[in-house]
Chain A
């Protein structure tokens, strides 16, 4: 069983498009995150949700909109994609003692 799963694994799209990445966790955790990993491998938190409530929004452009329909899901919608959005996006969940990560979604904007 995959603890944190995100889809799709790869996403190639043109500038200006709107796309979504889905994330689901089956660990029963209350907290979920989205992280962005850039080309230099730096991991930066984007959002954190605790029990469906937005807790952290780290100065992410409002083109990025997370949605948490329930505690087990945290989806990321991105409007008007830009070249600079190309990165690997990781979903994670946590119950305090470490975060469990999905396999990542490699987004390439062309």
Chain B
């Protein structure tokens, strides 16, 4: 079984401030972890992913995330928020091996204040 928990359904940051969106996962086998972004009235776009190898992964638009197995976490960060970062962010997990069911967290809405 696999699950994802995103802490904070709404996060507000000032423009230029650090963005930190939290994600914790549960998986009985080594996970593949993802962050997706959804802009209003649009589909989901893959921001970044961790499968194997380096635990710090960089994605598009200056975002990065670090896989911490000991903490079962995959938090998303960006050093300096832009207004264009305002969107809904979803953490997701696929358990490696077996059928590839993508399980999503409940999403975090990021608001960027000018």
Contacts and interface: CB of A to CB of B under 8 A. Distances in A.
- The SS class assigned to the B binding surface is strand
Given A41-B88, A41-B107, A104-B43, A99 B102 contact: yes
24 contacts: A31-B99, A31-B100, A41-B38, A41-B88, A41-B106, A42-B104, A43-B107, A45-B103, A48-B101, A50-B100, A55-B99, A56-B101, A90-B43, A92-B44, A94-B94, A96-B96, A96-B100, A97-B32, A97-B49, A98-B49, A99-B46, A99-B100, A101-B43, A102-B43
Interface of A: 31, 33, 35, 40-43, 45, 48, 50, 55-56, 90, 92, 94, 96-104
Interface of B: 32, 34, 36, 38, 42-46, 49, 51, 88, 90, 92, 94, 96, 99-104, 106-107, 109
Contacts of A35: 104
B44 A90 contact: yes
A33 B99 contact: no
- The SS class assigned to the A binding surface is strand
Nearest to A99: B102
Contact of B106 (A42, A96, A99, A100): A42
Given A41-B88, A42-B107, A94 B102 contact: yes
Contacts of B101: 45, 48, 56
A74 B7 CA distance: 33
Nearest to B44: A101
